[in-house]
Structure 1
């Protein structure tokens, strides 16, 4: 077991709360803060020590941020006090999905402040964050990674060091692009099968037991068996990530036709009021486009026809 230590945590949302709670349960003294008092209270119930201010959370040797987007990271780390109140020689671990551009700005500011900056976006969702089965991709100072690794092993099952700059940001965007496109394909696939009179459960069985039966297909097929579209990662969040993906591609002079088309699919879902539904709601959009309503519970064994 890793030696326990005091950690600062900024951002106690869908991912930040379960991860910080897991680290607290492992024996670390985690001092957490958030803009919303309710989240601080929930984290406190889970063993995270409340930090009254960002400055209080930032005084420790390793400080994590878990923030929703570029604007939030900029507000905390560039326009806000974070890098000014962290002590020299400490480590900033940024776990969010943000653009390589804003991340590079934070890296420059952290270096000027004498702070080691690690880009450590996590892969996985809030439903499994408490289990320790997330993965993380990390880039930044190698010595800081070595210090961070024992802590990372407390909330991730795999950790990959990728380089000294923005490599981890591109890795996370690449993974999320594959997930988004896979969800779009899965939506059209199951609706094509419905148009061909396959039973709902039968096409899910075909997909999961075929060559395309990836871990994501297996995971989402379980939800689709009962048409559970409660959000593990929302359509709105996926649209945001696709904006980052397309932007990163364009910034590197790369055409992004598949990513751009997939972004339009999620834009349509948000426009139809599905912004907070799970990203596999691509199925619902494909059904609407095909002139199909929801299947009825007509088959034996609880199958949907």
Structure 2
């Protein structure tokens, strides 16, 4: 199948590569780069992607995604299916599904860059049953698990809920490390305890380097993107008159982290932000 892929960032690049290696013909576009993975062709403009039977966007925000879907797919053939895989929130996805020049479903992913490279990320899909069955073989080439969460927008809702948990978990780990540090514990020893305790979720295990030796760890998910996702989750909650005190507290710390120049650092660097808040490190 000819697949158009918009967005060759840190997550999109390995995802497009998996599609190509699985046998699909991939035509990609990213305004920030002309370098594509092996077997992936580069389009001269985003409108060229509309010639494909199916397109995917893995773009950083809602405005960029809206522009691609509404403008880049203006010449798409009837029945063209577009999969929004970036995290943009359910309201925008539903808006696009009703007004775009193509069928639109959402399938945001959960996992790190290294998991995208390994093809072990998970996707949460909002689509009709028929659309899900059409998209599933394509999604299977990039992801280890595909969950049909409900109609369009449901995948984005699931992604925001997952990232609200991850953001709170990151802050919880950071606060635990500060307590251990304040009590004079060796942090590597404490982290081993944490990893093997009742709180030792898989996330705690694979984020050890990011928390303890951030200078040698890859940036799996930057604070700026997690701050965006938590903000979208709170927008959804407020629209439904829900109070989420943990997410609100997390957002305050993420805002501080961003203001202190940590926006492009891994989300584990909420630990640095909390050290700054407590006067253990100078603020920017």
- What is the TM-score with the length of structure 2 in the denominator? 0.94
Query: 1:252-271 deviations in whole A, cap 9, x for unaligned?
Result: 22122221111010011111
Partner residue, 1:59: 51
CA contact (8 A) 1:117 1:141 kept: no
Does the CA-based 8 Å contact 1:32-1:40 persist in structure 2?
Answer: no
* 1:1-305 alignment, distance < 5 Å: 5-36=1-32, 39-41=33-35, 43=36, 45-78=37-70, 80-82=71-73, 84-110=74-100, 113=101, 115-228=102-215, 230-292=218-280
Deviation at residue 139 of structure 1 after TM alignment:
1.1
Answer whether contact 2:223 2:264 (CA < 8 A) is retained. yes
The change in CA–CA distance for 1:55 and 1:290 in structure 2 (over 3 A counts) is: closer
Runs of 4+ aligned residues of structure 1 deviating over 6 Å after TM superposition are none
Judge conservation of contact 1:9–1:57 (CA < 8 Å) in 2. Answer: yes
Any idea what the Cα deviations from partners look like across 1:205-263, whole Å, max 9, x if unmatched?
11100000001100111333433464211111111111111111111221222211110
Tell me, in whole angstroms, the C-alpha distance in 1 between the residues paired with 2:269 and 2:95: 35
Instruction: Specify whether residues 165 and 27 from structure 1 end up closer, same or farther in structure 2 by C-alpha distance, changes over 3 A only.
Output: closer
> Deviation of residue 92 (structure 1)?
0.6
**Cα offset, 1:132, TM superposition:** 0.6
Residue pair 1:116, 1:141 contacting (<8 A) in 2 also: no
SS in 1 for 2:242: coil
Q: Is the 8 A contact 1:31 1:48 kept in 2?
A: yes
SS for the counterpart of 1:160 is strand
User: Which secondary structure does the structure 1 equivalent of 2:207 belong to?
Assistant: helix
CA contact (8 A) 1:208 1:214 kept: yes
In 2, Cα distance between equivalents of 1:251 and 1:87: 35
Aligned equivalents of 2:281 and 2:192: distance in 1? 21
Cα deviation 1:36-86 (Å, max 9, x = unaligned): 2xx232x1x4221111222221211111111111111122223x242x211
- Which ranges in structure 2 are unaligned for 5 or more consecutive residues? none
Shift of 1:293: 5.4
Contact 1:12/1:33 (<8 A) preserved: yes
Between structure 1 and structure 2, the one with the greater Rg is 1
Shift of 1:17: 1.1
TM-score of the pair, normalised by structure 1: 0.88
Q: Counterpart of 1:12 in 2: which secondary structure?
A: coil
Q: 2:34 is paired with a residue of what secondary structure?
A: helix
Q: How many equivalent pairs are there?
A: 281
- RMSD between aligned residues: 1.7
Residues 118-170 of structure 1: CA distance to partner in whole angstroms, max 9, x if unpaired? 11001112222121101000011221211111111111110000112321111
